[in-house]
Amino acid sequence: MKFATKAVHAGVEPDPSTGAIMTPIYQTSTYVQASPGNHKGYEYARTQNPTRNALQASIAALENGKHGFCFSSGMGAIDTVIKLLNPNDEVVACNDLYGGTYRIFKRVFEKYGIKFHFVPMDKAENIRTFMNSQTKLVWIETPTNPLLNIIDIEAVAKIAHEYGTLLAVDNTFASPYLQTPLDLGADIVMHSVTKYIAGHSDVVMGALVTNHDDLAQQFAFLQNACGAVPAPQDCFLVLRGIKTLHLRMQAHCANGEKIVQFLQNHPKIDKVWHPSLPSHPNHDIAKKQMRGFGGMLSFTLKDDSVATAIKVLENFKLFSLAESLGGVESLCGHPATMTHASIPKAEREKAGLKDSLIRLSIGIEDAEDLIADLAQALG
The pLDDT of residue 195 is above 90: yes
pLDDT given for residue 360 in this prediction: 98
Say how many C-beta atoms besides its own lie within 10 A of residue 112's C-beta.
Answer: 12
Mean pLDDT score, 57-61: 98
Least confident among 35-39, 148-152, 349-353:
349-353
- Cα(236)–Cα(225) distance, integer angstroms: 23
Residues whose CB falls within 8 Å of the CB of residue 279, separated by 6 or more in sequence, listed in order: none
| 218 vs 341, residue with greater confidence | 218
- Cα(39)–Cα(19) distance, integer angstroms: 22
Map residue 284 onto helix, strand or coil. Answer: helix
Catalytic residue annotation: 46, 98, 170, 195
> What is the per-residue DSSP string for 42-83?
-SBTTT--HHHHHHHHHHHHHTT-SEEEEESSHHHHHHHHHT
The pLDDT of residue 124 is above 90: yes
Residues whose CB falls within 8 Å of the CB of residue 349, separated by 6 or more in sequence, listed in order: none
Q: How confident is the model over 272-306, as pLDDT tens digits?
A: 999 999 999 999 999 999 999 999 999 999 998 89
Q: How confident is the model over 136-148, as pLDDT tens digits?
A: 999 999 999 999 9
Answer for the pair 211, 66: CB distance below 8 angstroms, yes or no: yes
Q: How confident is the model over 314-347, as pLDDT tens digits?
A: 999 999 999 999 999 999 999 988 888 888 888 8
Q: How confident is the prediction for the chain on average, in pLDDT?
A: 96
Q: How confident is the model over 16-44, as pLDDT tens digits?
A: 989 999 999 999 999 999 999 899 999 99
Mean pLDDT score, 242-256: 98
* Structural domains of the chain ordered from first start: 3-240 (3.40.640.10), 245-378 (3.90.1150.10)
The pLDDT of residue 199 is above 90: yes
Answer for the pair 286, 280: CB distance below 8 angstroms, yes or no: yes
pLDDT given for residue 345 in this prediction: 85
